[in-house]
């Protein structure tokens, strides 16, 4: 394997198809680790001969091994049989008898484990330097913190040592290090990836996250891990992220100017403005969102009784061996002792109120877009104040798991000082695929290299996609189009945008009386005697499709549409009697153009 070769999955697969041996990939990975000269990245490495044996034992490539020959790393609060789990606390270390479900599924998919990475002790922190081991160095500037708690995993990917790495994310540990190292950080819906075999931080809020060079790579790793584990009481069914093209007119909620916090960093504010320009360039409509209830939610995690869950996670250890805990980590976790059970219930009640208060936000947007962090924090700042800078890093992350949301951090345009900047997409649980579709487009359009390498972002596959197994395609032509008044009905059903396409010239489009909102009627006419009408195709689960169709009012119905791309999805049609006297708007070529003509 060439020393400069990229480890993103598209490049690696192309190399394997051209004859590269996975053993050569393994040898190059270990060479890069030695050359990196950073002893803080890994706490434990798989012996190189063991990794080579795993490469030699790979089965024949097949659909059952989508990660065939892909090197990866695991945060050292996740169990791997044969390697100690330390959670960055040597006195806590133990030898697990079983590999964590998430890791076992990656190994079954053909991935090759390289080692276990450093972290903020007990996954408590967003800075990445709260460890008795040497802290990992930020991939761009050693004076800046690498971000935590999943610091080693992020730096390993950013420096091109592995293709992807697992972190955990309770309060932002899978997103903050991504922002500080120019990576993708995927924080899936709670329970989508089992956490059995993960040392808990806050068991009800923990998730296994993915650091990767591209959104597609992160989504693929997540799909390999996703699925209910019957032995994990917090595991839940749900759709794993599957990226496609973003909607033509995505509606993104962004913080109001008065809610933005960059801690006085003008470069961060300019980078955020550049990110918004990238989003607008992709056709996004930006809608201001009142972030105050989200920010209040964030304070519950560390400033209120929820910190008691961190105490519960290691209660026996911290009570019996308090001096074994890193000083600042001990200070934070022992702070839970000032709260009572009644305080915990009060916090739970307030969280329920805030969840209800924030819920309407999601009806009007495809996703929320926020800065991943206010600004980079330096190691010197942490030495002067171990807590304050850490709290600031969690400004835009701490509320996500409390509100049962999914999130995806992606690189944005770099700051003027050459340091990376990132943005995070957030949506309600189950919309991981929608975030992946938006995030991959944002990342590619930002034009940044992958991590701290010179590797360019691989070309995105051509726009357009088809439904996956277990999904039904639904074609919409009017108020359900992206950016239109009824699109939220699709979003609430976790619909996934697939492609924009026109019908065959066999349809007439009418503006039906009534509203608001105004609604169209699509009528099938003789072949060649109609117009090609612009549409969008979305994917729904069978259950969601059934709920959607059941709510369609007369005179509309659902039939099979003939699209110019040769596909035949289900879609809206109107009864012929209903268009008598209605305005024929076929000449506009689509509902969006007709509505624009009315403005």
The set of catalytic residues is 75, 149, 173
Sequence-separated (6 or more) residues with CB below 8 Å from residue 406: 187, 188, 189, 192, 400, 426, 427, 428, 429, 430, 431, 432, 435
Please report which helix (H) or strand (E) contains residue 538, including its range.
strand 534-540
Spatial separation of the C-alpha atoms in residues 101 and 98, rounded to whole Å: 9
| Total length of the chain | 599
**Could you tell me the CA-to-CA distances from 74 to 88, 112, 114, 146, 153 in Å, in that order?**
13, 11, 8, 17, 7
Spatial separation of the C-alpha atoms in residues 125 and 301, rounded to whole Å: 12
Among left, alpha and beta (phi > 0; psi -120 to 50; other), residue 447 is left
Structure letter (DSSP) for residue 133? S
Spatial separation of the C-alpha atoms in residues 299 and 304, rounded to whole Å: 7
Spatial separation of the C-alpha atoms in residues 509 and 522, rounded to whole Å: 5
Q: What are phi and psi of 31, to 5 degrees?
A: -65, -40
Spatial separation of the C-alpha atoms in residues 200 and 92, rounded to whole Å: 13
CA-nearest of 210, 197, 207, 83 to 154 is 210
E strand intervals along 304-387: 367-371
Spatial separation of the C-alpha atoms in residues 298 and 156, rounded to whole Å: 29
Dihedral through CA 46, CA 47, CA 48, CA 53, nearest 10?
Answer: -90
Q: Which residue has the tokens 């026996």?
A: 316
Sequence-separated (6 or more) residues with CB below 8 Å from residue 509: 477, 520, 521, 522, 523, 531, 533, 584, 585, 586, 588, 590, 591, 594
Angle at 332 between CA 330 and CA 333, to 5 degrees: 65
Spatial separation of the C-alpha atoms in residues 36 and 158, rounded to whole Å: 11
Q: DSSP 3-state assignment of 45?
A: strand
């Amino acid at each position: 394997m060439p020393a400069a070769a990229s480890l993103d999955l598209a490049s690696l697969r192309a190399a394997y198809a051209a004859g590269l041996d996975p053993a050569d990939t393994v040898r190059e990975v270990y060479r890069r680790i030695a050359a990196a000269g950073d002893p803080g990245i890994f706490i434990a490495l798989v012996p190189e001969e063991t990794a080579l044996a795993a490469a030699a034992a790979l089965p024949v490539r097949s659909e059952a091994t989508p990660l065939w020959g892909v090197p990866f790393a695991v945060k050292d609060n996740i169990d791997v049989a044969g390697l100690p789990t330390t959670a960055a606390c040597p006195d806590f270390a133990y030898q697990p008898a079983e590999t964590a479900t998430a890791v076992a599924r990656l190994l079954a998919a053909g991935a090759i484990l390289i080692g276990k990475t450093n972290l903020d002790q007990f996954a408590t922190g967003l800075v990445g330097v709260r460890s008795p081991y040497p802290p990992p160095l930020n991939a761009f500037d050693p004076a800046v913190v690498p971000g935590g708690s999943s610091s080693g995993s992020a730096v390993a990917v950013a420096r091109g040592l592995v293709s992807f790495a697992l972190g955990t994310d309770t309060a932002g540990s899978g997103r903050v290090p991504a922002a500080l190292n120019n990576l993708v950080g995927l924080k899936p819906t709670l329970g989508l990836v089992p956490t059995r075999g993960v040392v808990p931080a806050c068991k009800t809020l923990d998730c296994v996250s993915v650091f990767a060079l591209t959104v597609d790579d992160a989504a693929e790793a997540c799909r390999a891990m996703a699925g209910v584990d019957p032995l994990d009481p917090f595991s839940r069914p749900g759709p794993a992220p599957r990226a496609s093209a973003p909607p033509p007119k995505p509606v993104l909620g962004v913080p109001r100017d008065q809610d933005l916090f960059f801690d006085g960093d003008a470069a961060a504010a300019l980078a955020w403005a550049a990110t918004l320009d990238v989003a607008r360039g992709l056709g996004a409509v930006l809608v201001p969102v009142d972030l105050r209830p989200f920010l209040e939610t964030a304070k519950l995690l560390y400033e209120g009784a929820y910190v008691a869950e961190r105490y519960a996670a290691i209660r026996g250890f911290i009570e019996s061996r308090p001096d074994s805990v890193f000083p600042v980590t001990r200070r934070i976790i022992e702070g839970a002792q000032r709260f009572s059970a009644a305080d915990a219930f009060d916090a739970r009640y307030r969280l329920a109120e805030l969840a209800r208060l924030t819920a309407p936000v999601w009806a009007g947007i495809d996703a929320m877009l926020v800065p991943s962090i206010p600004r980079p924090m330096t190691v010197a700042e942490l030495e002067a104040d171990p807590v304050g800078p850490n709290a600031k890093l969690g400004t835009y992350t701490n509320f996500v798991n409390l509100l049962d949301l999914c999130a995806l951090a992606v690189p944005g345009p770099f700051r003027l000082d050459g340091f990376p900047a990132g943005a995070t997409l957030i949506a309600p649980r189950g919309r991981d695929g929608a975030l992946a579709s938006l995030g991959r487009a944002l990342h590619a359009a930002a034009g940044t290299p992958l991590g701290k390498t010179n590797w360019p972002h691989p070309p995105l596959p051509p726009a357009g996609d088809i439904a996956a197994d277990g999904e039904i395609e639904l074609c919409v032509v009017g108020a359900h189009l992206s950016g239109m008044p009824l699109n939220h009905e699709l979003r609430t059903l976790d619909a996934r945008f697939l492609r924009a396409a026109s019908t065959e010239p066999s349809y007439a489009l009418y503006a039906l009386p009534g509203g608001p909102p105004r609604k169209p009627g699509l009528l099938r006419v003789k072949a060649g005697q109609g117009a090609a009408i612009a549409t969008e195709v979305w994917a729904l689960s069978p259950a969601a499709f059934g709920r959607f169709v059941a709510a369609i009012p007369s005179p509309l119905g659902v039939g099979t549409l003939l699209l110019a791309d040769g596909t035949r999805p289900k879609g809206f049609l109107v009864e012929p009697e209903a268009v008598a006297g209605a305005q024929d708007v076929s000449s506009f070529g689509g509902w969006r153009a007709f509505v624009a003509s009315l403005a």
